[in-house]
Amino acid sequence: MNRILVKKELAPKIKLIEFENRDIASKAKPGQFVVIQMGEKGERFPLTISGIDPGKGMVRVIFNEVGKSSKRLGALAEGEEIGNVAGPLGNPAEIEKFGTVLCFGGGVMTGPMAYEAAAFKKAGNRVITVIGARNKELLILKDEMNALSDKLYVSTDDGSEGYKGLDFLRDILEGEKVDRVIGMSVATATLRTLCELTRPYGVKTIVSLTPIMLDGTGMCGVCRVVVGGQTKFACVDGPEFDGHLVDWDLLESRKRVYSHEERVSTLLDEQVGKDCASRFQQTRK
């Protein structure tokens, strides 16, 4: 179970992994996520699903190697197994024929956005996609997105490719009627910017939120977000919500709670890992 079939590096520190899990592959829908645990001492962390192949029993995830767990996941080789994977979790995205749908995928979340955009296309929508990254080296899935979109725009924070920032979206929204906007990014600030851009145009903007999660099944409430003044659990009530109703300050603050511990854990792992490796080499000499 959970054997890695394909592993690719899409950009520096951005990896794609396709693993075998027939239960998840037969059930997953765009917008849902899996919770992964690397080994019995590992933390449980969510990854939004980037695609499936029910025939092969394949599930695709794309992730940034930023912390201890994601680095360990990225270090697995094809043929190796991921310890624990639970899913699909969360509610599937609302896929309907809305008319014109603008799909924004930032960074690694371009992966799940591609999966969801394809579903919007299949449902008969005109699909405009925007892929974004900090710089051109970190852009991923451009060709895939281009193939499934009616129109593709590229945006980078530093302007090294495509438009600089997201302000150009105003021109799109003024230029044509967009019926729905979908935003995915682990950078909460980017999603917030997107929602502020679309708000004046009154276009319903759905965002996939990525708060801290623990079990991912509605048991702990660490992922609580406030949407329209109501407390919601992103894991069971989301993860997609109306972005114009999200309390962004709260989300940003809650996402930072454990950043110190995450850094400690990652640094320690790197340091201890290196020490062990060098000691091991010394003993072999």
Contact residues: other proteins, CB under 8 A: 23-24, 27, 32, 37-38, 41-44, 68-69, 83-89, 214-215, 217-222, 224, 226, 231, 236, 249-250, 253-254, 257-258, 261-262, 264-265, 268
Nearer residue to other proteins within complex by CB, 147 or 276 = 276
Nearer residue to other proteins within complex by CB, 176 or 249 = 249
Cβ proximity of 191 and 180 under 8 Å: no
Looking at residue 245, its amino acid is L
Rounded Cα gap, residues 80 and 35, in angstroms: 18
**Alpha-carbon torsion 187, 189, 190, 194, what sign?**
positive
Rounded Cα gap, residues 224 and 229, in angstroms: 12
Give me the least distance between CB of 47 and other proteins, in Å please. 14
Give me the least distance between CB of 258 and other proteins, in Å please. 6
Nearer residue to other proteins within complex by CB, 3 or 44 = 44
| Helix H or strand E segment including 38 | none
Taking residue 268's Cβ as centre, other Cβ atoms within 10 Å add up to 11
Which residues sit opposite 37 in a β-bridge? 44, 84
Give me the least distance between CB of 12 and other proteins, in Å please. 24
Give me the least distance between CB of 191 and other proteins, in Å please. 18
DSSP class of residue 136 equals G
Rounded Cα gap, residues 100 and 103, in angstroms: 10
In sequence order, what E strands does the chain have?
A: 4-11, 14-20, 33-37, 44-53, 58-64, 84-89, 100-106, 126-133, 151-156, 163-164, 180-184, 205-208, 224-227, 230-233, 240-242
Nearer residue to other proteins within complex by CB, 66 or 203 = 66
Please report, to the nearest 10 degrees, the dihedral formed by the alpha carbons of residues 176, 205, 137, 151 taken in order: -30
Nearer residue to other proteins within complex by CB, 3 or 142 = 3
Give me the least distance between CB of 226 and other proteins, in Å please. 6
Nearer residue to other proteins within complex by CB, 161 or 215 = 215
Give me the least distance between CB of 128 and other proteins, in Å please. 31
Nearer residue to other proteins within complex by CB, 54 or 218 = 218
Which among 77, 107, 84 has a CA at the least distance from the CA of 7? 77
DSSP class of residue 139 equals -
Rounded Cα gap, residues 94 and 32, in angstroms: 11
Give me the least distance between CB of 25 and other proteins, in Å please. 11
Nearer residue to other proteins within complex by CB, 66 or 154 = 66
